[in-house]
Structure 1
Amino acid sequence: MNVALVGYGRDGAVSYEYFVGRGDQVTICDEAKLPVPDGAATQMGENYLDNLDRFDLIVRSSGIHPDIILAKNPGVADKITTSIDTFLQHCPTPHTFGVTGTKGKGTTSTLITKILEASGRRAFLGGNIGLSPLGFINQLQPDDWVVLELSSYQLHDITRSTHIAVCLKMEDEHLDWHGDVQRYHAAKSRLFANQSPDDAAIYYACSPAAQRIAQHSPAARTPYYEQPGAYIDSGENVVIDGHVICHTSELQLLGKHNWQNVCAAVTAVWQAGIRDLDAIRDTVTTFKGLEHRIEFVRSLDGVAYYNDSFATNTSATIAAVLAIPQPQVLIMGGHDRMLPLENFAKQLQEQSGKIRQVIAIGASGDRLAAVLREAGLSQITRSQASTMTEVIQAAQTEAKPGDAIVLSPGFASFGMFKDFIDRGEQFKQVVNEL
């Protein structure tokens, strides 16, 4: 088969090895002239999308919208696929989970994987969390388990699904890529629409959008955060099917939003027939969370430092403010997609007793500071800092013993930093060198 890989990032590199390994002729197509394997056929530069109709299969990197390909190659829609759809087509095990939603996908997917491992299963985690599942497909046996974190980019045009599909809380995001909220929800819905009646669909009970998305599934649908899925009872215990898993005070994860993620993971494994209470309890009470998600870095001179760089939207910032108990010097700002901030400003103003100061940085800093002041939040510093060291110095001047300095930007990282990982790593490096 003659295969074009459109986009050669981390996902594309894994796809290249997979398709070459099965004997296909592969051409790497990318606008940037990147290093490629020796002997690889390439189509690089501004003409990287030319004449793609000559290929049997066009594998797009998840971030590349298919419309970009179709604009230059009308009529090739049936040839376009992704590494995720390819994996689902050829996956040798039926034991698969797919987790989508707006926030919490990585945490929930990791919890599911760790519960499976604690119960004695061999489990593989991949997808949007950073590893293409084509990188481990050849290792899989029929009794193995696979957990996929799935973004809307990856789901946009999939034609297959997982046995267990989970939709977490939904919010408006990635509208610049999808065009509008209806298309964003439609992409998420494909995970459910491609299920069979023998599968299982799970959704966040408190999110009408998640419920609507799950309704596309022909399978039995189970809510979480209310019965019959896992839920929090009046005593703040995590409960499923009459079994108390643990008290929420035993969870290492900070914040009530993580109660939701725990309930999602517990419901997912329960629906898959994994009812090992000890494995579930041990996992959810020892898991401390993923890097860059309300990650405690250190305490110094009575001030705690938290890295929440993964907070690329304002709802995630609110979740961090609510989760961290100390008064906070909040570092916010970044790339401005010009989304409305008024509702966020109102929510933050309602928590003003916990906000020592907001340090507004990046391209969004001026607009953010203005909207927050208009909402009645006066403790704002508009920082022109150009480095993380300068940002943290500005925060330190405002912090008092007993406070927390929290990097929870609420915006994407483009501009000052390469991505949220770079932003978080720089924060941790500077803090650890103080």
Structure 2
Amino acid sequence: MLPIERLRAMVAGKKVAFIGAGVSHKPCIEQFAALGAEITLCDQKPNLEAFGDYAETLRRLNVHLSLGEHYTDGFAGQDIIMRTPGYEYYKPELQAALKAGTMVTSEVELFFELCPCEIVAVTGSDGKTTTTTLIAKMLEAAGRKVLLGGNIGAALLPQLETVTANDIAVAELSSFQLISMRHSPKVAVVTNVTPNHLDHHKDMQEYIDAKRNILLWQTPPCRAVLGYENEITRGMAADCKGDQVWFTRLHETDKGAFLRASDDTLCYAENGVVTPIVPRADVKLRGLHNVENLLAAMAAVWGLVPVDAMRQVASTFTGVEHRIEPVRMLDGVQYYNDSIATSPTRTIAGLRSFDQKLILIAGGYDKKISYAPLAPELIAHVKVLILMGDTGPIIEREVRACPGFAESGLQILHADNMKDAVEKARAAAHPGDIVSLSPASASFDHYPNFEARGREYKQIVQAL
């Protein structure tokens, strides 16, 4: 049976509830309606008008609505509930539906179950999006038709009808998506695991276990690519079911991708043979963390694409939006947008990408993670720190308590909002300076996501 017919058999005539009408759910709602499902949309929005232009689509598709404060009442009596990653799997309302016999799944889970082609997937606390994008570009450079989805790209499930066995799907997966998954990809990459999203996960172990799900359901022949420098990902070698390889910037390995110290070249080692891929001097991406992302991508596609395709992407790809993205040079000052830095480890990687002290805009939503490791890095790499949002005072407290602060000369300022922060940065900057938005925090105190935060920052900078 064709994959789309298997999906039709699964949903036709069934009552299906979608939690939220986000980017991935909108095309899925259209798809499920066309396949004969009876759809209910469960959403916190108060009424149909709150959906704006999308309200007309909901009317056209005869979607039932369960809205407002008690939107989860719509879970009752459903055959299937389509969970959005932002709705926690272990919430009592969802667990009650599961116990009542409702199938709880998601767009990505169904795609993994039904997809006829090989899947390469990436997870980790940092570097997911860049690594995923690099993998997709390397496969495209080798002439493969690539479906890019998960946390980035388009929803994968609505593309099921046109996928063939010769295509290849590349997905970025978050812990929220992985926590309930029971299918793993053919090639799984775990970049690193550091404290993150502890406002949503019960504890660090639940977060780690969610990440492990990318490996636990693999069946040989399969490949697992693990970051060697991270203690948690190194320990995941015990979970691997097939071919397991490393990527490492600081060590040489006989099984995976590494940066060779003797000539600063990105290489791959297999069966006693070391193949040089590209000199680091030719890599267009800024920062040592991006060398690691490149190594991870190379280890993932080794054997799937020729070395020339890897080399071509490494020497031409300049980066993904919101990741140390050059915005503008004004009055001799270079502005960067690193809004993706939603955790201290990401901001640290960004700071280390420059060989001078920066003017840094940081702070945002509090994910209940420690800012102590960030403090010495701020003292070492920042000359003016402009703080905003819920975590601003927390970051300041850690910096002031850190040894070396008093003699560092680090100036700390506070801003009411992004416009105020950019204006303060401009006032502090002199020709030759670098200003970077790298918040070390999530965006949800003022923005729906880090992309919206980055876009507003760029608009403000462009308008200076």
State the TM-score, normalized to the length of structure 1.
0.94
Equivalent runs, 1:54-65 vs 2, <5 Å:
54-65=77-88
Cα deviation, residue 236, structure 1: 1.2
Q: Which residue pairs with 2:338 in the alignment?
A: 308
Residues matched between the structures, number? 427
Q: Which residue pairs with 1:10 in the alignment?
A: 23
Equivalent runs, 1:257-276 vs 2, <5 Å:
257-270=289-302, 273-276=303-306
Letter in 2 for 1:25: E
RMSD: 1.8
State the distance in 1 between where 2:16 and 2:186 align.
28
Q: Which residue pairs with 1:75 in the alignment?
A: 99
Query: 360, 370, 385: which one pairs with 2:397?
Result: 370
Deviations 1:76-109 (Å, cap 9, x if unpaired)? 476111111100111121x210100111111011
Letter in 2 for 1:5: F
Query: 396, 413, 420: which one pairs with 2:450?
Result: 420
Query: 433, 437, 454: which one pairs with 1:403?
Result: 433
Q: Percent identity?
A: 33
Q: Which residue pairs with 1:182 in the alignment?
A: 205
State the distance in 2 between where 1:51 and 1:408 align.
40
Please give the secondary structure, in 2, of the residue aligned with 1:10. coil
Structure 2 gap segments, 5+ residues each: 1-13
Equivalent runs, 1:375-386 vs 2, <5 Å:
375=402, 376-377=404-405, 378-386=409-417
Please give the secondary structure, in 2, of the residue aligned with 1:366. helix
Letter in 2 for 1:283: V
Q: Is the 8 A contact 1:215 1:221 kept in 2?
A: no
Instruction: Say yes or no: does 1:162 pair with 2:175.
Output: no
Letter in 1 for 2:389: G
State the distance in 2 between where 1:383 and 1:195 align.
48
Instruction: Say yes or no: does 1:172 pair with 2:230.
Output: no
Deviations 1:207-239 (Å, cap 9, x if unpaired)? 121133343232221111233111100121001
Query: 341, 344, 347: which one pairs with 1:317?
Result: 347
Query: 116, 128, 131: which one pairs with 1:92?
Result: 116
Q: Which residue pairs with 1:254 in the alignment?
A: 286
Structure 1 gap segments, 5+ residues each: none
Deviations 1:224-266 (Å, cap 9, x if unpaired)? 1233111100121001132211111211111111111000100
Deviations 1:152-187 (Å, cap 9, x if unpaired)? 000010111111011111111111211111100111
Letter in 1 for 2:144: R
Q: Is the 8 A contact 2:98 2:104 kept in 1?
A: no
State the TM-score, normalized to the length of structure 2.
0.88
Please give the secondary structure, in 2, of the residue aligned with 1:222. strand
State the distance in 1 between where 2:243 and 2:336 align.
40
State the distance in 1 between where 2:106 and 2:98 align.
18
Query: 277, 283, 289: which one pairs with 1:245?
Result: 277
Q: Is the 8 A contact 1:365 1:382 kept in 2?
A: no
Change (3 A) 1:385 1:187: same
Q: Is the 8 A contact 2:322 2:454 kept in 1?
A: yes
State the distance in 2 between where 1:85 and 1:338 align.
28
Letter in 1 for 2:64: A
State the distance in 2 between where 1:10 and 1:148 align.
15
Larger mean Cα displacement after TM superposition, 371-380 or 422-431: 371-380
Q: Is the 8 A contact 1:356 1:398 kept in 2?
A: no
State the distance in 2 between where 1:196 and 1:319 align.
34
Cα deviation, residue 346, structure 1: 2.3
